[in-house]
Structure 1
Amino acid sequence: MKQTKPKTPGVQPPVVTGHETRLGMLDRAGRKAVPLRKTFVQAPRGTESRHGPLKEFVNNGDLRGLRAYLMVVGACSKATEDGWTTGHDSMVWARLFDTDLDVTPQSARTAAWRTLLRLEARGLLVCDRKRGSTWITVTLLREDGKGGAYTRPVGPNPEDRWVNLPTAFWKRRFDGRIDVPGLAMLLAVAADKQWARFPSDYSPDWYGWSPDTTERGLRKLIELGLADRREAYIKTPLSPTGSTLVYEYNLKKWMRPPRGQKPGSPA
């Protein structure tokens, strides 16, 4: 009978964290930024509604779903014969989404699958799991949530304009320190011009969330050191002073990839 060697006493397998799994995923993608069409944040000018799919995450307080979606976009780094697709064991997805914290492995797998199903219901991706298998395949759809096939965000059309979210956002662990308003406004500031104003009263029309969400989100960006704020004055001829103080916001330089850089340029 074949003898098996006994395990070395005291030797245990290493514990892999969600942070390590996310870094491994981004390193495998081999790029220094994750591209995201601006239509996820806001529809182009001239459309009936300016609201993008981001509104649903914000109004439902779905931080896990929003973080998961950005990670899926980062994971799908190239097209295959099945589209922009990637597949992993459900436990890998669980670590990517932090659904494995303080729960049983089965609960972690189930929570990861349900997170992906929420993203599918919002028209952002298609997920597939064969009966009896723990392998989950995810295929990206276009960021506007209308169910169109995903393509690399390049082109002259307004619908193809994008932002590059640097992988340093994850490497420096900001993804674990930010909240829903902060992450929403991070994407909104990234999608706008440099040193833009974000009057909270316009938030319901521009983005579909409350003025309070905009104000709390901007404060969070300043608190975390992800953005800068400066004062500016605008003319208001009918006011007592003739001018009004406003604030303008811009992401930190390390959060703004150089102009002209292609979406998700390789590291």
Structure 2
Amino acid sequence: MSVTAAGRSHHAARSEPHGRRSSLERVHRLLSSFDYEHTRLSLSDLSRRSGLPLSTTHRMVSELLALGMLERDEQDSLCIGVDVWKFGLLTPKAYGIQRVALPFMQDLYATTGLPVHLGVQEGEEVTFVESLRPRGGGQERPRLGSRYPLHVTAVGVAILAHGTHGFQEDYLAGLERAVPDGRQCSALVRRELARTRSTGYALTDRQTAPSMAIGAPVLDQLGRPLGAVSIIVPEGSAETPYGHLIRATARAVQRTAWEQGMA
């Protein structure tokens, strides 16, 4: 099994529900049923995708509609409400680093014309919170809000490489347990982490093949990752110049974050 597939299995194994679900967990499952491929759902589709009984879904949807967390479109389908979007804008982890990083990302994008991304850590995953890319350039992933296991994207590898030793070992041990060839996957990721610390940037094509993703961390003053930025370069591009560019961009974001008291 590939490292990418291992990542999905690793993530899935940790996402299985246990026991009776709380009301908050049920709300989370309902809202998590929406994604870029499913922005509008019927009540029955929402019940199926969330794994909740239709009666429970109907009752909770009524409450979420009244609270503005869900809305109905012109075809009477359910979709995410504006209030959820407003809550998302207040997320300090995403908004603070996004605000600082965006001007530098725009400079890099203007210089290269290549897709540039920003991600932040959420436990053992990375969430993409900003993205600049050419229209119609064929680079539709990652999308804003997309979440991946840390080891399957350049942004995530850059973050993982600068996590604590204990966190890295726990993550790699979990990866080893996830699939039969987990030790091989773990060994490969371990080499990538060492290389990332040595060069200052991560390199992977797991989510972008045949293009290559190059990512560099944004660290606080104690060396802990605030997030990471990445650039997607075409197949066959010289790695080193882009590696230096993304590393310089990350350091500019980092320096500004320090100056503004974020780190």
TM-score under structure 2 length normalisation: 0.31
Q: Which has the larger radius of gyration?
A: 1
TM-score, structure 1 normalization: 0.31
